[in-house]
Structure 1
Amino acid sequence: MNVQDAIELLKKEGYKYTDKRKDMLQLFSDEGRYLAAKDVLEYLHPTYGGMSFDTIYRNLSLFTELGILEATELEGEKRFRFSCAVEDHHHHVICLDCGKTKHIHHCPMDNEPVKASGFEVVGHKFEIYGYCEQCSAQT
């Protein structure tokens, strides 16, 4: 996903294009990592001083509902990032310090005995949390 694709999707789904939404989307594009609502508010505050957490959360929820953003929970806080451009089934390793992610193209469920148990899996999410090379080197 990129900013232009996200804007086109918003328009296609009947939502207004606003500079605030564009600036929010640009932040996710520029950062390329998971961000909390407070990160978005801090980034937008100099330009949109009166913007509230409610407005941020409402837009983050909309973007997630439309598949523009994907969400996860890190350290008890919901965080968001642009949905992956990778179309094939994959999972992520996520840095707990900086929020950067990398793809894992092997699915741990392929080796899981769940299939043999007779349980019909209709979806799953697998994330590994730790520290990237840059963040581990700083400690």
Structure 2
Amino acid sequence: MNIEEAIETLKDKGYKTTGRRKDILSFFAEADGYRTARDLIQYMEQRHDGISFDTIYRNLHLFVEMGILETTELDGEKHFQIACAQHHHHHFICKCCGKTKEVDICPMKNVDSMLPGCIIENHKFEIYGICPQCKTS
């Protein structure tokens, strides 16, 4: 998803596209992988005096709920990134820098037979490790 699509999604759902929301979207659009709320707060404090943690977290929650941002948990902390392409895929996530790489395999093909009678509503499969750039650093 790009910034224009995200803004259109907000408008379609009746939300205003404020300067703060556009800056949040720009932060994630420029990031190459997952970033924390703390990263976003540091970025936003440089651009908006007196911005509150509540404003940051409220918008993060809204963007996740609307499918604009994806979230994952890494080392006990939530991380966010702009939602990827609309095709089904999973991610390799670097534990050092947060960069992601799409992985086009899905283990769910094998799971259905292991859970007879269950209705699977959703799933998440992520691979964690160190990317080549961080490995050489």
TM-score by length of 2: 0.94
Q: Secondary structure at the match of 2:79?
A: strand
Alpha-carbon distance in 2 for matches of 1:16, 1:82: 19
Alpha-carbon distance in 2 for matches of 1:117, 1:31: 38
Matching of residues 2-81 of structure 1 within 5 Å: 2-81=2-81
Q: Secondary structure at the match of 1:26?
A: helix
Distance 1:121 1:46, change over 3 A: same
Deviations 1:56-95 (A, max 9, x none): 000000000000001111111111100111x222111100
Distance 1:122 1:115, change over 3 A: farther
Dislocated runs of 4+, deviation >3 Å: none
Alpha-carbon distance in 1 for matches of 2:6, 2:87: 20
Give how far 1:116 is off.
Answer: 4.1
Kindly tell me the number of residue pairs found equivalent between the two proteins.
136
Structure 1 residue 97 and structure 2 residue 99: aligned? no
Alpha-carbon distance in 1 for matches of 2:87, 2:19: 32
Find the counterpart in structure 2 of residue 124 from structure 1: 123
The answer on whether the counterparts of 1:92 and 1:127 sit within 8 Å (CA) in structure 2 is yes
